[in-house]
Structure 1
Amino acid sequence: MEQRLAAVLAADMAGYSRLMETDEAGTIARLRTHRIELIDPAIAKNKGRIIKTTGDGMLVEFQSVTDAVKCAIEVQQRMKRRNADVPDDRRIEFRIGINLGDIIFDEGDIFGDGVNIAARIEQLADVGGVCITAAVATQIVDRLEVPIEDLGEKMLKNISRPVRLYRIGLEGNVLPDAPDDADAKRTVSKPTIVVLPFNNMSGHPDQEFFADGLTEDIITELSRRHELFVISRNSSFVYKNQPVNMREVASKLGAQYLVEGSVRKIGDRVRVTVQLVDAINDAHVWADRYDRRLDDIFAIQDEVTAAIAATLPGRVEAAQRDQMSRTKPANMAAYECALAAKVLHHRGTVADNVEAQSLIGRAIALDPGYAHAHAWRACILGQAWVHGWCDDKDAVWTEVVAELDRALALDDNDADVHRILAAVNVNNNELMTARYHQERALFLNPNYDLVVVQQGELLTWLGRPEEGIDWIRKAMRLNPHHPERFWSHLGKAHFAARQYGEAIEAFMHLSAMDHVQHAFIAACYGWLGDRIAASAHLDKLKAIAPDFGMDAFLATLHYVQEADVQHVRDGLVKAGLPEVPPAASGTATADALRGAIDQR
């Protein structure tokens, strides 16, 4: 038996039994003609090999996914033309499914999960259509200018796990596309990443399960990130214990980025090394090492998996930004537009925000079903709303809410959608609704640092700052390259926990402070009884915000407990700010939304 990675095309004739019952001899003759004149030549031209035929279908193996898809599209488009003048009840039409997987070859036949999935998804294809798996989609999205529609995850007969499926649009020509038409036909073009099996460098066979388990967990966790296409475990484990040529593996799997690593046991410790490689540009993007005591191998596996899964997407996005800044592509897909919009958003200027709105709008025009783009349009509009970069704030806020509604309707499983919805609901003082969306985001992606840090913020507002501190510190561990603003969230949580020294130390990590941070530091020094230091920060506060007022500031806070609001008020009074009569807390403001959108 031989085992290798291959693309499998499964084709089946729709309505075969009905046609045979109506005209057996005529159906067989016409099917034979189609095979001789169209199907077999298309397979041969695209370097396919027919493995098995039945009366109404066939299995074909291709070494190239692109060739398999080109063959399927050619067959379906030409069959459509052949059927143009044939009565509906006499048309011969096919369903085609294509999968990329680990295939077992034995005595001229093929077996394995990859074959079974191809056969199952063929049954879900439209008559005259082509259905493909995510593994196939990742390879062709930048190679064939054809529309690809996400059908979501489907449960297939006798397959234990859900499989993400896509439909190929067959309107228009296959290749080549005219330059002006290519942009309109492209959909989401996400970076594709493959996690190769980690090497066991320990010399201890009992560490093999740890290396394999770590690899599988990393694949699973990265798959939660909707901004990445992650090659399946079945495809990547083909290369276990084999010498690997990075460029060759990347080309065969259609991946731009490869993750590789090793596990080594040293006494009572285990060392895990990992690196991210840009195979297209032959460049190392990121590397790290994790040294842990071997007290609980499963806890180590969970910890290292979480750290890698949290860090890698940010490194991939940074590499993508660098590449875009060098190449400045004129013809960008929806993902690339969204990424460019994020870059501009992070710069935080009026002009950049305007351009970001234009780019994110283009992403949505290219792919109206791109939920992540709708969520980020809400984020970018929210930035304009927070900073007053819009003429009609009510209208813009309505758009923010509408975009989040669209994103949620399109994809209830995008952690970013729920993260931003949680922030918006905090802004509206709907903290219980915010808690639902926050917990949903956390369930969908428990290792996403922006979700984890927001959990800490929400717990602080809910009067549980000690727990909030733990979550914020966890976010910092998950992403050692975390945004600087995480220190501000930590400082506020320590203040709410009455840990003033720790709060000041956290705020001091900021390279620049706004009036809000100076207010909290002043309140810390007020409670510590240091009027000189408190006065210095009040002076800086007033220099930044000359019109600063106690009530206006307290209205930006979303504490559930009135005692927490009074705690801030008393600290500022002790710092030397003139006392004013208390006002009702909890006015809807931009503080929570600012935290969600200012992701520097």
Structure 2
Amino acid sequence: MERRLAAILAADIVGYSRLMEADEADTLARLKSTRENLINPKIAAHKGRIVKLMGDGALIEFSSVVDAVGCAVEIQRTMAECNAELPKEKQLEFRIGVNLGDVIVEGQDIYGDGVNVAARLEGLAEPGGVLISGTAFDQVERKLDFEFEFLGEQKLKNIEKPVRLYRVGPRARAASGTVPAKRKRHIEWRRLTVAATALILIAGGVALWKVVGDGSGPPVEVASRERMALPLPDKPSVAVLPFTNMSDEAGQEAFTDGMTDDLITDLSKVSGLFVIARNSTFVYRGKPVKISQVAEELGVRYVLEGSVRRAGEQVRVNAQLIDALTGGHVWADRFDGNVADIFAVQDVFVAKIVEALKVNLTTTEKTEIARAKPDNIAAKEAFEEGWSLYLRYNAKDTAAAITSLKKATELDPEYGRAYAALALAYFRVVESLWGKELGRDEPYFWWGAHDYVELAKKYPTSLSYTVEASRDAYEGRTEDARRNAGRAIALDPNDPEAHIATAWALTISGEPAEALNFVATAMRLNPNYPSHYVLARGLALFAMGDLKQAAEVFGEGVRRNPDATALFLPLSSVLAQLGRREEARQMLEKFRPGIGQKGLENIPDTLHLSFKSDYEHASVRERLNDGVRIAALPLDVTVTSLEAELETGNPLSQLYATRRLGWFGPAAAQAVPTLVEALKVEHLRREAIEALGKIGPPARAAIPALVALQNEALVGIYAKDALSRIRDN
């Protein structure tokens, strides 16, 4: 493994998804021209090497950190000059991060923490800005005449130690010991602001003491950071409790739940907020809970609660946002009016909440919030009823959800979010193997999901991109899956389903370790997560080869939800590969009660599993299938018994024995000499080659025999593949 010290520059385009959505061809043309005429010459002038381009991003290596930072500042300065001549919607802005660190070299690519830190810095940089690490700053501080602003230390994702951050300004630094006049005025103003804030806080503390501490009013129970089940995020965190239905009319629960769901959905699109998913807040529906309890159980600072009273076409909505750490009201408002105005009211509420939390609501976020709402109130109510049923994640409610969601699309044929929800429901039937319970085979729902994806694409929302990513992942189109999942997250950064879709895309394309980060984010956004999050996490661990941890994750998922049928097969597979075959078989029999031995052995060949790896990583799916095959075998079929059958059985039983030895993978290492002998038998040769490949590195003794076969016309390609597995794994 080659290592070296390098300066790494990571860059990406701000708002790339928005630009592509507005005009894909124009954006690509301008990006290509910018790279060829502006960026590439500057990289060359600073002796940099483009490691790789990633659509809207780039990774560049320099031997000198002075060159790297100089190049970054020149790029941003020139881009600012170019953008000054263009309308806002045509401007290309970059974020750039620079780090000096150790990298691992593999061919033309580089990996390691040195690269990861640069990528994290790029994500934190301001549009048009350059952010560098402390290691880079230490080298360039006295060598470049730029302004460096220390931003403190920050913990970066997947980086063990906090990293010092410095913002780089293109202006030359002032002489030593002087402070620019403008900056001095800013410092004085900041001091006055801090002093005023301190006085306000002191006064607020006195007022709070009068209410809470002197017995003149009822005590307010506030949340404690120490009691939080999960650490507070680094941005304002909000949980929206189900609004209370105060209506005298029957059947208004769906309308009230819809109000809550809309606020969750709209707030989640604001990148400056951390918003808990509906699944995790609706567990409190109809229960008398304290704000402090909700905050501590979900790990949030702010809790939004309210009530809805509807009478015919008139509606009254009360809402308040509470700071759980102080018990104080951050914002409260009320609406009395016509039901037809409810969508506008929601938009006002969202804008005021965002303003109260001092978070910016971008134009793109406003557009996405407006786009998700239909004009038809009845269609919205049908959607809310269907969405609520879908989120219960069981066969019966999914069937009812499909009926309601179809009604929503009939009432509003341009309801993109409803089409996307239908596609999700159909995919869930396929993934959970609920087809027979719903009266159809899984292929019916598989093709139906495709139809709804296409309809959702006509009226794009963040949910439609999530659905597209799910379909792409199911079919092994990893690049499409990652791109669409990225678009979904860009439009709705708090949507856990978009993070799960990204995790699938990463797992099937050979990056399961990174996939686990997205699963963790989804689980944090939705602490009461459904079982398909467990499936995504367990299969990422399986793809990494961590069978023990995967078994624990799947097992806990089944204990948490005994009806989570989608977990039964992967759990059975992992248990079998760990040698716990009796437990594996019991899980398989639970999956298909009373099916019989022949039926058990047919399961892997008749069922559609949850994902399809791309060609390069197809062995992951193959190992998963092989584990299920082992689980289905009678317990008296072992590696030893199969060896004996291979040596003494008839030609057909020898063929089966050879194939089955491959299913056991590395656990069949003792059979390598027997399989090498089988290479000499023509009708067993291909099966023996494949079995040795599945055994992997423990089959090194077979390398000479396989080398001798790699140029054979009929089996040479299989011999080369087996050699690759044995040598490289």
Higher helix share: 2
Q: Same fold (TM over 0.5)?
A: no
Length-normalised TM-score, structure 1: 0.41
Which one has more relative contact order, counting CA pairs under 8 Å at least 6 apart? Answer: 1
Length-normalised TM-score, structure 2: 0.35
